[in-house]
Structure 1
């Protein structure tokens, strides 16, 4: 093309591709721990933000802060008070929004009636559940605009693929993130509780709900697809759902056909092609045809039995370790408790202290921490996200990175 500003040839494209690859590698090398640009930093009892060199960028003047979500972070100077006014700041530290004169933000342990701002959740899917003085719930966006009317008696705080449950007049129904009601409000209960990264693969083609004491499945328009005949129902994962009937668990497909018989005392969902099930007091694993692939020799399988990064946490004789999907003991069962792997590391507890190990069981971060989830962020529970995790030591919560560097000073 004679009039092109830049003439391209296969050789020039190859050179450009190599240059871009080198640039990407340099960027990776500049941030090998995968840290965010701004890191929550604690100085004494106040919080601010530092950069990756631990240089303070936003003054430590807040009672608590959250990680930046896009261009904004939630902060507050009224920790633990119901009348606190959480606000948002920009990456330059400018305070840009006070949401409402008074409102509540749903904490992760809301079913116990606690509404402490230390447990404030993120803007899941860009929206935040809020409650006004009249005890009605709705959702706002990052700029404080009402996106879902504040008219509901209750609501789940997480939109999964644009859909969640809300409650009015004593019954639950489906709504979307535009505030549209997708189903009738006729259900005893419906809930998306799945916030951890490994749960994001759950299908929303069918949604489990409870009506008149029994569980069934509806589609996103509220149409009944699988009848309400089960005593318990779990989400569909990898094409199957575990359900309970007459005291036993089995698996059904999306047409409601029984695929794996109801012979188990308990059954979790499928992850990486296998699911943990319980029989005669012991846990093992089966494939999608119901074949036993890992023997029933474990006392417990943690975190719903889900394999994460190729490993699952199992327990024998009150000690925890990890197995692979062939049943090989990869990390010995020597720990008091373990968390799932995330970004190559897993939390482990030994002698009543927490540290972190790699996939070979090597200690990477020393066992010196009293706790690991001071803020109860679901996606960071016992695991790393963006190269960071919250830890607690000497009754003080702060962040560390994957080298154990503490973003805290007295």
Structure 2
């Protein structure tokens, strides 16, 4: 019989498969037949026996001869980084099985004190446990040392134990998880990513900020969740952020995370914030503005109804009891808080308003213009135009004032006066002639 090339290759493939199966059957120990499932790791096996009648099951770690290296556990997971997760049976009081880790000798390395856990990846795993009214999440190394604890207590409305749903895989307790429904969407405390997303996370220069159905979370390049998926907003374009901190929102309150680590460094206690300036963060609490530094320490008390940014002159405009003035970054008042309004400083000069008139001051609070104006504006360029009695003036940062032009009202008035004079002049000339003729 003659085979074509394609048929011959197919025949060889089938033959190799059957040869491999026969070899595997020949190498498979006879004692494995008493177990329903097994997973081989060179000279040891993770085996499981399932009672199909009542649905009970138990798992063991055994050597190549079938000798049990562990007592019966409810489940034993896959080995990774030399450790495998295991789950104990419920105790006589009905408590749920707890999760821990053992090595290939069957010795417990991390005790079973957790409600959930995962496989080790690059020497790190996550564990889930009750923490007050919430489920907590931490990351451990292969010795059980805690690397990072997710601050779930900062998110008191999320991850509540009484709203958690346990998700099980039949006969595989090591694959159980806890889920919550948020706005009818399923979310979880620990987060698993696809391989392409993982690649993006590991390449990112900063902690990776991700979005899921209306919520944000932050994970670092080691796949450690620094902030759980509970944030309502992250200032991704740094409109209100800077100097190493990014503004985030939980519910109706604001806080900050570190742009370097992704961790929450300033909790969610503020009603509003401003973009930082000169190392100060204006934040609003209790309806008043005050300043904190990047550690969250209060450096200017929460006193002010209004606060402007600190400019290069180390001054910020503030309002207290309806009056305006200036303070520096230490909170010291540099312009008395007595004015109707006080602008930002530019070129060392700020505009003030008092009794509905305007003038300009220097950084010491001294008024540098001799005149007060009916209309004015803050400095943007190296000169500014003001108005007084309908006359326009040019004001320079040194306080000097130079007449520039008259207003349209003055022009209109002068034109009208000229017209009146022109109308009166012929009549007076005619009247004088008539008087002369007499």
TM-score where L is the length of structure 1: 0.40
TM-score where L is the length of structure 2: 0.37
Larger-gyration structure (1/2): 2
